[in-house]
């Protein structure tokens, strides 16, 4: 079963919602966040990127940063920028990006179900990023960035959500990036019960994006349980903030790679080595793969198309057949010496939202020597890997549009 519960959300007033709504903490660096927040005292970046209000020389993981986030959150509440709902609600959140539309349920999910793998994962977490989210969540006493979950689409749930969306929304915002965000409050008691019961029949949920936040919520729950002799399982810290979308509405973009050097190889030798497992052709324009097992490569001002030769890919292995794994196993590791992309500083990852020009920029600047464009991982492959208890290579999926932070918050007490 999937235990998704309503909660008393803390939300911005209608008048300030557009100014409050901000990108997630992990899609902007500190410099970008400072620039975006300039002149806007209400942006939620003051809460989820609080270093923007401190000296740039202060380390991002200094306790002063987390304390500043907590102070800013309390100031938002005290000043009436955000207010807590008096009753428990579900919320429905629709995003429209161009022709793509996705509508999900905002709720709190069970940490216990996460621990029991009824909420399935497909990535390992990085300790330093997990520690960061633990400190942020614990210091703020709140979950301010929702975890992005998905589930096998159900017609009955679709119908319930559609019924909600026929009512007047609380927010209807089109932000600077052109993405539209529409937000409804579910307050009808019968609808609340119907939604809870419908999800109780869903066998499992999947983490699409937010592995560090969900892992951090688990650690915070265990910390607070140990410190609470009266723990009874009903405390708010037993749940974590989520937005849950049906799998058939997911949009996954490519997640591409750049590498700083050729591991001592000349360009000629590197190309010759690649040709053992890939058909290599010159491309007159940026090569964006249009099918599985195709790759683009950009090096020294030239684009190439790479297509795997017969027998290279093991289609029976749910992980090995992923294109990010094919690239890792046949080029990045054996040729470029990137054995562990989780920790190797020679590799970096570029979300597909930045386009092929984002890859060209990294190479043309001299920062990197070679870039690779990949075909997007499918949601079906993601779910198959999670069902098998396997783990994807790092940075396998880039979901768009991103959930905006600040539209609703879950407090831990």
**pLDDT, tens digit, 9 for 90 and up, residues 64-86:** 999 999 999 999 999 999 999 99
- How much is the pLDDT for 413? 87
Mean pLDDT of 348-373: 95
* pLDDT score of 180: 98
pLDDT tens digits along 377-403: 999 999 999 999 999 888 899 899 999
Give the mean pLDDT of the chain. 96
Third-level CATH fold of 255-375? 3.30.1760
Confidence (pLDDT) at 125: 85
CA distance 55 to 71: 16
Q: Give the pLDDT of residue 1.
A: 76
Task: Quote the Cα angle for 157-107-352, to 5°.
Answer: 85
As given in the structure block, the two tokens for residue 196 are 């809870």
| Main-chain phi, psi angles of 296, to 5 degrees | -100, 150
Angle formed by the axes of helices 211-226 and 127-140, nearest 10°: 60
**What's the confidence (pLDDT) of residue 100?**
96
Mean pLDDT of 86-115: 97
In tens, the pLDDT along 185-230 reads 999 999 999 999 999 999 999 999 999 999 999 999 999 999 999 9
Whole-prediction pTM: 0.90
Q: What is the pLDDT of residue 9?
A: 98
| C-beta atoms surrounding 358 within 10 Å | 16
Segment 141-156 mean pLDDT: 96
User: What is the rounded average pLDDT of the residues 90-100?
Assistant: 97
Question: 365 pLDDT exceeds 80?
Answer: yes
Lowest mean pLDDT among 154-158, 229-233, 352-356: 352-356
Q: pLDDT at residue 350 above 90?
A: yes
CATH 3.30.1760, the chain: domain bounds = 255-375
Is the bond leading into 73 cis (omega within 30 degrees of zero)? no
pLDDT band at 330 (very low <50, low <70, confident <90, very high): very high
For helices 127-140 and 63-78, angle between their N-to-C axes, nearest 10 degrees:
40
**What's the pLDDT score for residue 343?**
85
């Amino acid at each position: 079963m999937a235990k998704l519960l309503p909660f008393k959300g803390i939300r911005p007033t209608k008048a300030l919602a557009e100014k409050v709504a901000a990108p997630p903490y992990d899609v902007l660096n500190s410099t970008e966040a400072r620039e975006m927040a300039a002149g806007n005292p209400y942006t939620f970046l003051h809460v989820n990127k609080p270093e923007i209000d401190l000296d740039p020389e202060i380390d991002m993981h200094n306790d002063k940063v987390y304390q500043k986030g907590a102070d800013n959150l309390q100031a938002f509440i005290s000043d009436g920028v955000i207010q807590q709902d008096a009753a428990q609600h579900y919320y429905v959140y629709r995003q429209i990006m161009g022709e793509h539309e996705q509508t999900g349920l905002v709720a709190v999910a069970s940490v216990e179900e996460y621990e029991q793998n009824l909420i399935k994962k497909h990535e390992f977490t990085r300790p330093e990023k997990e520690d960061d989210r633990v400190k942020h969540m614990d210091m703020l006493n709140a979950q301010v960035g929702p975890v992005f979950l998905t589930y096998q689409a159900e017609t009955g749930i679709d119908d319930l959500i559609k019924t909600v969306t026929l009512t007047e929304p609380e927010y209807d915002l089109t932000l600077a990036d052109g993405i539209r965000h529409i937000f409804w409050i579910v307050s009808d008691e019968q609808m609340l019960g119907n939604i809870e019961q419908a999800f109780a029949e869903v066998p499992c949920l999947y983490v699409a994006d937010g592995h560090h936040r969900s892992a951090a919520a688990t650690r915070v729950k265990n910390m607070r349980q140990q410190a609470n002799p009266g723990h009874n399982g009903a405390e708010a810290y037993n749940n974590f903030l989520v937005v849950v979308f049906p799998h058939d509405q997911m949009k996954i973009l490519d997640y591409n790679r750049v590498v700083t050097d050729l591991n001592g190889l000349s360009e000629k030798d590197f190309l010759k080595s690649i040709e053992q497992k890939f058909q290599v052709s010159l491309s007159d324009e940026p090569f964006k793969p249009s099918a599985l097992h195709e790759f683009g490569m950009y090096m020294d001002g030239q684009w190439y198309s790479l297509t795997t030769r017969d027998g290279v890919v093991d289609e029976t292995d749910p992980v090995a057949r992923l294109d990010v794994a094919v690239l890792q196993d046949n080029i990045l590791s054996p040729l470029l010496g990137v054995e562990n992309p989780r920790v190797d500083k020679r590799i970096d990852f570029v979300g597909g939202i930045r386009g092929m020009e984002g890859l060209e920029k990294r190479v043309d600047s001299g920062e990197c020597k070679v870039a690779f464009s990949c075909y997007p991982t499918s949601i079906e492959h993601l779910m198959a890997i999670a069902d098998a208890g396997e783990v994807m290579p790092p940075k396998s999926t880039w979901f768009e549009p991103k959930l905006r932070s600040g539209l609703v918050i879950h407090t831990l007490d």
